[in-house]
Amino acid sequence: MVVTTQHKQFPSLELESGIVLAPVDVAYETYGTLNESKSNAILIVHAFSGDAHAGGVDAEGHKGWWDNMIGPGKGFDTSKYFVICSNVLGGCKGSTGPSSINPATGQPYAMSFPVITIGDMVRLQKLLIDSFGITRLLSIAGGSMGGMQVLEWAVRYPESVASAIPIASTARHSAQQIAFNEVARQAIMADPDWCNGNYYNSKPPGRGLAVARMVGHITYMSDESMRQKFGRRLREDNGIFEVESYLRYRGSQFVDRFDANSYLYITKAMDVFDLANGAQSLVPVLAKSRTRYLIISFTSDWLYPSYQSLEIVSALRRRNQDVAYIELTSNYGHDAFLVEVDEQADLIRGFLSRTMKENEKR
Amino acid sequence: MKGEHGPLVHELFGRGDYGLISEIVEPGACVLDLGCGEGELLAWLADHKNVDARGVEISPAKLQKAIARGVSAYQGDIESCLADYPDRAFDYVLLSQTLQEIRYPLQVMRDILRVGRRAIVAFPNFGHYTVRLAHLFAGRAPKTKLFPYDWYDSPNIHFLTVDDFEILAARQNWHIERRYFLSGTREIKSFPNLMAEVAVFVVSNA
């Protein structure tokens, strides 16, 4: 199926900070068909550098970032469910972000873009979902930063979420996760081409952004997967290590598709996100949700280690909330949520079909 | 041996204890199955009795199948998972054929009776006559249909009998609401400590 990213504009969005963004754009894609009772909608929320193109193939032949999970008969079975994915607020793939034109000045927002949060991303998604007339999502699913949005949805709009699937995620970043993001931000800001964010009419800070992405890719893999993928092999053409070549390639490729200021804003939103809002215990905040949970983590994911998922599971158990949890075995590190398709598809298929059954009883 | 002629028990997934449990649990109840395996029983209870079904399973492979069945199960160890739950969170906590494998069964039973209004406990009866005979005549750790493992790779670490459980219940002041004794698919009505292969107790705090 060839899919096209679509766009909607809303007159305004009030942010958690009280600042109003007006107007606000959202880029999204949909797969499958919304049923008459609008009870089969699933929102897919993307990770840090993702976009609205989650499934299918676009006009240029690019597969969606979770295409192996979205489609007829797949984990998110589009012959049964209506799947929506949108680009996050602050992004650079069609939704309003720092590279968008500020209507007040006619120039890109750049660093005048207001500080945004995971909660603000969710508010924009809620506008989009409301615009379809969907009052209750069958499920909301996402990995990494997507998982944070899933959790935020579940506690912010408890009546609008029948089930939630946070994968390889956390209720709040640890010092280590913040640290890696800070290194990436500093790499961007240390690039002289960054110019305090005002680079839209000149050369973007490509070197800084590439280094930021290289750091990111290290954290997405595991020691084991890097040994298997690269070992100590050298490239024949230039004599550098395979792993160096891979990181440079990934870094330079990223520069062509991502905005450096979006990197700064979105990583900051992830770092300040705290589901418990500063409280030590997750129990009270999660008690607000009326949602079935399927929580998945991966053995070799050291960026979002399983203890962070278990903290959520344990808090849900304290109030006897409905939660399934599994730590899947994988060597792929944090990338596992994009790679380990078969296991996840089985789990999600069963979980969704049970959720659908229970929904029909309501 | 008149116990052999008791009424037939309805089996579920080839198991008499599952059949009994499926009859005992009321529709709409909230049930936690400790050691839920691949989740067949819980999925059946959810489908046929509208039960709010939760499970705990230690084996990742089994757990994966349970979740793929739509059962809300998670990876956990029976002996440590119960601490998180509030008091009387469940109508029933199931412990099927697992009591004899737990290191500290008394502590687990106390936790079960804290988080559940009732426990349904099923275990193989080590007092069964075939086990006694095997031990008496062979002079070796019993290896029977009921206890098919060699002593060195058996998951069973306690060899309790029907009477052992009754005595413990009396000492702990547990109320045994119902008791069932099975031999194959037949219910045993007399000499259960000798004749029952499997015992199923419905227990609550007195």
**ipTM of the assembly?**
0.91
Inspect the interface and report whether the beta carbons of A346 and B70 lie closer than 8 Å.
no
SS3 of residue A104 by DSSP: coil
CB-CB: which of A317, A322, A351 is closest to B67?
Answer: A351
Residue B5 pLDDT greater than 60, yes or no: no
Q: Is A301 a catalytic residue?
A: yes
Average pLDDT, whole number, for chain B? Answer: 92
- HEC per residue, B186-199: EECCCCHHHHCCEE
Give the Cβ contact number of residue A357 at 10 Å. 12
Model pLDDT for residues A307-343, shown as the tens digit of each residue: 999 999 999 999 999 999 999 999 999 999 999 999 9
Residue B4 pLDDT greater than 80, yes or no: no
Residue A143 pLDDT greater than 80, yes or no: yes
Inspect the interface and report whether the beta carbons of A327 and B60 lie closer than 8 Å.
yes
Residue A1 pLDDT greater than 70, yes or no: no
Across the range B111-136, mean pLDDT stands at: 95
Inspect the interface and report whether the beta carbons of A317 and B84 lie closer than 8 Å.
yes
Task: Name the minimum distance, in Å, from the CA of B57 to any CA of chain A.
Answer: 10
Inspect the interface and report whether the beta carbons of B68 and A347 lie closer than 8 Å.
yes
What is the token pair recorded at B51? 């039960």
What is the token pair recorded at B97? 């054929």
Q: Is A334 a catalytic residue?
A: yes
CB B163 within 8 A of CB B101: no
Give Cα separations from A294 to A11, A152, A323, B37 (angstroms).
35, 15, 6, 18
pLDDT at res. A276: 97
pLDDT at res. A283: 97
Residue A158 pLDDT greater than 90, yes or no: yes
Selected catalytic residue, list A49, A301, A306, A335: A301
Inspect the interface and report whether the beta carbons of B74 and A347 lie closer than 8 Å.
no
- The residues on B that touch A, with CB distances below 8 Å, are 30, 46, 50, 52, 54, 60, 63-64, 67-75, 81, 84-86, 89-90
β-pair partners for B196 = none
Task: Name the minimum distance, in Å, from the CA of B45 to any CA of chain A.
Answer: 13
With respect to residue B187, please indicate whether it lies within any of the assigned structural domains: yes
With respect to residue B145, please indicate whether it lies within any of the assigned structural domains: no
pLDDT at res. B6: 64
Across the range A78-96, mean pLDDT stands at: 98
Across the range B26-52, mean pLDDT stands at: 96
pLDDT at res. A361: 77
Across the range B54-77, mean pLDDT stands at: 95
Across the range A110-123, mean pLDDT stands at: 98
Across the range A23-45, mean pLDDT stands at: 98
Residue of A nearest to B75 (CA): A326
**What domain range includes position B184?**
2-125+159-205
Chain B residues lying within 8 Å of A314, measured CB to CB: 84
pLDDT at res. A199: 98
β-pair partners for A92 = none
Give Cα separations from A29 to A79, A87, A100, A136, B125 (angstroms).
16, 9, 20, 19, 60
Across the range A268-272, mean pLDDT stands at: 98
Residue B1 pLDDT greater than 50, yes or no: no
Inspect the interface and report whether the beta carbons of A318 and B64 lie closer than 8 Å.
no
Give Cα separations from A270 to A92, A95, A115, A187, A264 (angstroms).
16, 17, 12, 18, 10
Chain B residues lying within 8 Å of A298, measured CB to CB: none
Band (B194; pLDDT cuts 50, 70, 90): very high
Please state whether the predicted TM-score (pTM) of the whole model is above 0.80.
yes
CB B42 within 8 A of CB B33: yes
CB-CB: which of B54, B70, B86 is closest to A353?
Answer: B70
Cα atoms found within 13 Å of the Cα of residue A317, Cβ hemisphere only: 25
CATH number at residue B121: 3.40.50.150
What is the token pair recorded at A207? 């070197």
Q: Element (H or E) spanning B53, and its range?
A: strand B52-57
Q: Which of B147 and A167 is assigned the larger pLDDT?
A: A167
Band (B143; pLDDT cuts 50, 70, 90): confident
Which residue is listed with tokens 């956390």? A170
Inspect the interface and report whether the beta carbons of B75 and A325 lie closer than 8 Å.
yes
| Number of structural domains found in chain B | 1
Residue B2 pLDDT greater than 50, yes or no: no
CB-CB: which of A292, A318, A328 is closest to B72?
Answer: A292
Chain A residues lying within 8 Å of B71, measured CB to CB: 324, 350, 354
Chain B residues lying within 8 Å of A355, measured CB to CB: 70
With respect to residue B139, please indicate whether it lies within any of the assigned structural domains: no
Inspect the interface and report whether the beta carbons of A320 and B90 lie closer than 8 Å.
yes
Residue A169 pLDDT greater than 60, yes or no: yes
Inspect the interface and report whether the beta carbons of A314 and B84 lie closer than 8 Å.
yes
Chain A residues lying within 8 Å of B84, measured CB to CB: 314, 317-318
Q: Which of B50-59, B77-86, B166-175 has the lowest mean pLDDT?
A: B77-86
Chain A residues lying within 8 Å of B91, measured CB to CB: none
* Among A113-127, B15-29, B176-190, the range of highest mean pLDDT: A113-127
Across the range A214-232, mean pLDDT stands at: 97
Q: Is A144 a catalytic residue?
A: yes
Residue of B nearest to A361 (CA): B50
A57 DSSP 8-state letter: B
Inspect the interface and report whether the beta carbons of B67 and A354 lie closer than 8 Å.
no
Give the Cβ contact number of residue A18 at 10 Å. 7
Chain A residues lying within 8 Å of B85, measured CB to CB: 317-318, 320
Could you give the domains of chain A?
6-173+274-361 (3.40.50.1820), 176-270 (1.10.1740.110)
Task: Name the minimum distance, in Å, from the CA of A125 to any CA of chain B.
Answer: 27
> Which of B74, B81, B82, B114 should one mutate to test binding to chain A, selecting the residue with the greatest count of A CBs within 10 A?
B74
Average pLDDT, whole number, for chain A? Answer: 97
Task: Name the minimum distance, in Å, from the CA of B89 to any CA of chain A.
Answer: 6
Residue B9 pLDDT greater than 90, yes or no: no
Residue B25 pLDDT greater than 90, yes or no: yes
With respect to residue B118, please indicate whether it lies within any of the assigned structural domains: yes
